[in-house]
Structure 1
Amino acid sequence: MTTAKIRVLATGGTIAGSAGSALQRGYAPGQIGIDAMMASVAELGLDAELDGIDIAAVGSQDIGWRDWQALHREIAAATSDDGISGIIVTHGTDTAEETALLLDLTHPATKPVVLVGAMRPADAVGSDGMRNFANAVRVAGDHMAAGRGVLVVMGDSIFAAIDVRKAATSSIDAFRGFPRGALGMVTPLTLDWFGPPDRPGAAARFAWPDALPHVEVVYAHAGMDAGLVEGALSRGARGIVLAGMGQGNAPTTVLDALEAAVKRGALVVRASRVDEGSVDRNLEVDDDARGFVASRSHNPQKARILAQLLVASGITDPLAAQAHFDRR
């Protein structure tokens, strides 16, 4: 068996965090360098050669365009390097689903790209970081991981970027998948896929943009008025994602303001503030008449990433945009 050669791109997060005490609740993310992390996982004796690049050392709430540009550049280079079997991105959990989807939509599904994080810092009692990292090494080094797009490995589960979401604030098993659950299960010793790759050899859906356009998420609530919509437009938003009630709904005055935003050239996507479920077209809201897009299985934060790529690609016609939200 050929030893897998894996490129590790580190961005910080809890997986590289330190509390200074095994019982300390608070901690600082991104305190442990990638060399130290790779040395620790090397001691486990996994059949892999790792080399690492530090991209950032931040909590993922601070991940932004510059970090995404660096990740894109390094993933593209590793993908074109015949000597590299797979890529791991260490990442904070708060925005892991957003980074994963952005990378998934802008890179070909030819080599495994695996995001991994932790829910507890490295020096906490019961830290999950090293196990998750070891699991990510096993996944990234497996040839069956290719052709599945970007993957997220957390809590012994493997999720597709398009399905994954953070569903709990602090549990070790905080990540879930919708509409699909996990694609497989992994431990440092075992790896079981629940089905074959569904995107073998698929090209990137979008070219990497020069910049991500301004798209805002507007959170619906009882008694809201249209001020949040007007505020987003006044700040130059080229798209608005509604984190709507239930099936992506909002008060009529808000829907009217969103319809007016469409007429001014904005891409408007209806998503839901509900944790799980699809937002479908023309149920409670007449999307055809108002010019809206239904987010389907994309939650608001993922809908924003896809909307940004659509606007950056010049795709603002509602039906053309809908085709991308419908696509798996």
Structure 2
Amino acid sequence: MSRANIRILATGGTIAGSAGSATRRGYRPGQIGVADLLAAADALDLDARFEGGDIAAIGSQDIGWPQWSALHREISDALGDDGVDGVIVTHGTDTAEETAFLLDLTLPAGKPVVLVGAMRPADAVGSDGMRNLANAARVAGDPAAAGRGVLVVMSDQVFAAIDVRKAATGGAEAFRGFPRGALANVTPTSLDWFGPPDRPGRGARFAWPEALPKVAILYAYAGMDADTVGCALGSGDRGIVLAGMGQGNAPGPVIDALAASGVPVVRSSRVDQGSVDRTLEIDDDSLGFVAARGLGPAKARILLQVLLASGYEDPLAMQREFDRR
């Protein structure tokens, strides 16, 4: 069996971070370029050949439209290259779920595309970066990874972009999946899928947009008043995601203000895990709201941005897209 040809695209993050000491608490993300990552990957003696390039050298809290556009362009080029079997994106963990989901919505489910990061910088004692990278290489080089959409590899597990979230601020096992857990267990020497690909041959769900419109996330809390809705609208946001209490709820005056806002409103939840269903305590049909279902606020915002950029206006049409997987 021939060795897989894998293209690594680096964006920075903790996996490329350096503290200057194995035990120092603070560190700077994005200090290690792709050339050093490629050399480190080659030194792991994996069953793969690596090439790659730098997209950015930042902490993922700073990622946005310029980096996303460049990343989508480079991944699309790699997917169209017969000499590339899979793509790895090294990425900070803070917004990995957002980048992965945006790419998942706008790329075909063909060759494997794998995001990978680390919870500890490269020079820290117990760093998880190189193991995660080795695991990502095993996934990206596996033909059975095709047809599953964009994947995220962390802590010896493989997650689908639509399910994955960062659920803890620290620790190597900070990532979880909902409603599905991991799709596979992976180590540098093994890969065990729990089921077959669910999207073989599926093209991109949406075309890559020319730009992403502004969408605000409002975090609901006890005693919240309606002025927060006006603040978001005053900033020119074209949609609002409510990070609501429980099943996407908020105080009555806030709900009334959202209904009168004149922009699409998606109800998500500030709760770490669970689904926001349509028309339980809140009458979404009469108010014109959209229920985020299994998407947390960050991913609900990404999908709403893509829908607005794609010309969606009707809440029921938007709801059908939030109901899809």
- Normalising to structure 2: TM-score of the pair? 0.99
- State the distance in 2 between where 1:56 and 1:281 align: 39
- Counterparts of residues 51-130 of structure 1 (less than 5 Å): 51-130=51-130
Would the aligned equivalents of 2:278 and 2:291 in 1 still touch at CA under 8 Å?
Answer: yes
Deviation at 1:3, TM superposition (A): 1.2
The corresponding residue for 2:279 is 282
- Counterparts of residues 211-230 of structure 1 (less than 5 Å): 211-230=211-230
Structural RMSD (CA): 0.5
Q: Deviations over 1:180-210 (max 9, x none)?
A: 0000000000000000000001111110000
- State the distance in 1 between where 2:312 and 2:168 align: 34
The corresponding residue for 1:208 is 208
The corresponding residue for 2:48 is 48
Deviation at 1:213, TM superposition (A): 0.4
- Counterparts of residues 218-257 of structure 1 (less than 5 Å): 218-257=218-257
The corresponding residue for 2:310 is 313
Letter in 2 for 1:295: A
Deviation at 1:33, TM superposition (A): 1.1
Decide which of 247, 270, 275 is 1:273's aligned counterpart: 270
- State the distance in 1 between where 2:74 and 2:41 align: 22
- State the distance in 2 between where 1:42 and 1:77 align: 23
- State the distance in 1 between where 2:264 and 2:311 align: 11
Which secondary structure state, in structure 2, belongs to the residue aligned with residue 114 of structure 1? Answer: strand
The corresponding residue for 2:177 is 177
The corresponding residue for 1:153 is 153
- State the distance in 1 between where 2:44 and 2:224 align: 54
Deviation at 1:35, TM superposition (A): 1.2
Which secondary structure state, in structure 1, belongs to the residue aligned with residue 242 of structure 2? Answer: strand
39-48 or 69-78: bigger deviation: 39-48
Whether 1:322 aligns to 2:319 is yes
- Normalising to structure 1: TM-score of the pair? 0.98
Letter in 1 for 2:3: T
Letter in 1 for 2:296: N
The corresponding residue for 1:198 is 198
Whether 1:304 aligns to 2:301 is yes
Alignment length (residue pairs): 325
Letter in 2 for 1:178: F
Deviation at 1:135, TM superposition (A): 0.4
Would the aligned equivalents of 2:41 and 2:50 in 1 still touch at CA under 8 Å?
Answer: no
Letter in 1 for 2:40: S
Letter in 2 for 1:143: P
Which blocks of at least 5 consecutive residues in structure 2 are unaligned?
none
- State the distance in 2 between where 1:210 and 1:280 align: 31
Which blocks of at least 5 consecutive residues in structure 1 are unaligned?
none
